[in-house]
């Protein structure tokens, strides 16, 4: 039997849903599934807003199914746990990110890489194991399998921690995986939106030198004074870009719009790493293969 802080509660939920491509969210009542033996139910207190939420509610990726309740940086307090839940209890601070399910039988799942599973289930806009539509965190309650629920430490505020469930892991993971966290390294961060902000803060916390690369000169003060970046380069200024050529060990590119990669490649040292973590939808990004092979960057 599930352990609950509110025994006998209904499964009805209230949220905000998009019903068409207008981008408008309207009040929406729907049902969450009953808490299963491996499930965690929690009261949603905060949910982040991501650029991908905007894409989904407007069907800009061509895969939205309405009505759709967006939100995949979902945090709150546990109100009920299933009988086989082992690591969480009623009253815990928790969160759910981008995924709520996978096949659990492929090589990727076996290696804790459910995000690569061909049968992964997204937090919203997808179909769950039981055939119901998944709905996200712009709602008052969430139910998810324990495997996909993150336990927040008591000293981490839920409102400030929610963005770590998508924006945070999106930039933290490549910094760690590509070993760009060694003090003394020089990292570039392209774009100073939601992802860019978190990338700068993580990189500085690791002790690396950080240069923000942006088309907007007006973001210089924010980058240097508020976020602690070491330098700022306006990507539309050829002189500033030339001065920074060949100085960076890695670049985290967070820009959602299509943009030329050649100038960014020119900023890297030999064997430097350019990591794209955003998904431009307006047109494909061109890969300058010759520049990669030859180190020839005269178009900057």
CATH of the domain at 246: 3.40.50.720
Domain boundary among 130, 158, 186: 158
Same domain, 153 and 20: yes
Same domain, 93 and 194: no
Same domain, 184 and 280: yes
pLDDT at 163: 94
Taking only the tens place, the pLDDT of each residue in 33-81 is: 999 999 999 999 999 998 889 999 999 888 899 999 999 999 999 999 9
Six-digit token string for 238:
């050829």
Same domain, 112 and 198: no
Position 111 in a domain: yes
pLDDT at 296 over 70: no
pLDDT at 280 over 70: yes
Position 6 in a domain: no
pLDDT at 252 over 90: yes
Same domain, 231 and 139: no
Same domain, 31 and 58: yes
Same domain, 138 and 212: no
Overall domain count for the chain: 2
Same domain, 145 and 257: no
Position 5 in a domain: no
Enter the pTM of the model. 0.88
pLDDT at 300 over 90: no
Same domain, 116 and 231: no
Same domain, 194 and 143: no
pLDDT at 10: 62
Choose between 289 and 141: higher pLDDT: 141
pLDDT at 93 over 70: yes
First to last CA, the chain: 64
Residue 285 C-alpha from the chain's centroid: 21
Domain span at residue 246 reads 167-298
pLDDT at 9: 52
- The pLDDT-based confidence of 6 (bands split at 50, 70, 90) is very low
CATH of the domain at 151: 3.90.180.10
Same domain, 41 and 123: yes
Taking only the tens place, the pLDDT of each residue in 210-241 is: 999 999 999 999 999 999 999 999 999 999 99
Position 255 in a domain: yes
Instruction: State the average pLDDT over residues 199-213.
Output: 97
Instruction: State the average pLDDT over residues 132-147.
Output: 96
pLDDT at 295: 65
Position 2 in a domain: no
Position 1 in a domain: no
């Amino acid at each position: 039997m599930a352990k609950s802080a509110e025994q006998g509660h209904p499964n009805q939920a209230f949220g905000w849903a998009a019903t068409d491509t207008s981008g408008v969210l309207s009040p929406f009542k729907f049902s969450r599934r009953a808490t299963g033996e491996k499930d965690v139910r929690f009261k949603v207190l905060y949910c982040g807003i991501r650029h991908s939420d905007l894409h989904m509610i407007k069907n800009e990726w061509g895969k939205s199914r309405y009505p759709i309740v967006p939100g995949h940086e979902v945090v709150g307090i546990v109100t009920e746990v299933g009988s086989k839940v082992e690591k969480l209890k009623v009253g815990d601070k928790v969160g759910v990110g981008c995924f709520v399910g996978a096949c659990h039988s492929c090589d990727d799942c076996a290696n804790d890489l459910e995000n690569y599973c061909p049968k992964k289930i997204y937090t919203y806009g997808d179909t769950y194991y039981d055939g119901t539509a998944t709905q996200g965190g712009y709602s008052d309650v969430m139910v998810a399998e324990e495997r996909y629920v993150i336990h927040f430490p008591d000293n981490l505020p839920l409102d400030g921690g929610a963005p770590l469930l998508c924006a945070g892991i999106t930039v933290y993971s490549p910094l760690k995986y590509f070993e760009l966290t060694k003090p003394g390294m020089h990292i570039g961060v392209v774009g100073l939106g939601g992802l860019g902000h978190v990338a700068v803060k993580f990189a500085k916390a690791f002790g690396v030198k950080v240069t923000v690369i942006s088309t907007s000169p007006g973001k210089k003060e924010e980058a240097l004074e508020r976020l602690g970046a070491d330098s700022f380069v306006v990507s539309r200024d050829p002189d500033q870009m030339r001065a920074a050529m060949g100085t960076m060990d890695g670049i985290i590119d967070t820009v959602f719009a299509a943009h030329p990669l050649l100038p960014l490649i020119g900023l890297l040292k030999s064997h430097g790493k350019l990591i794209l973590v955003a998904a431009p939808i307006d047109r494909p990004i061109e890969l300058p293969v010759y520049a990669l092979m030859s180190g020839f960057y005269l178009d900057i």
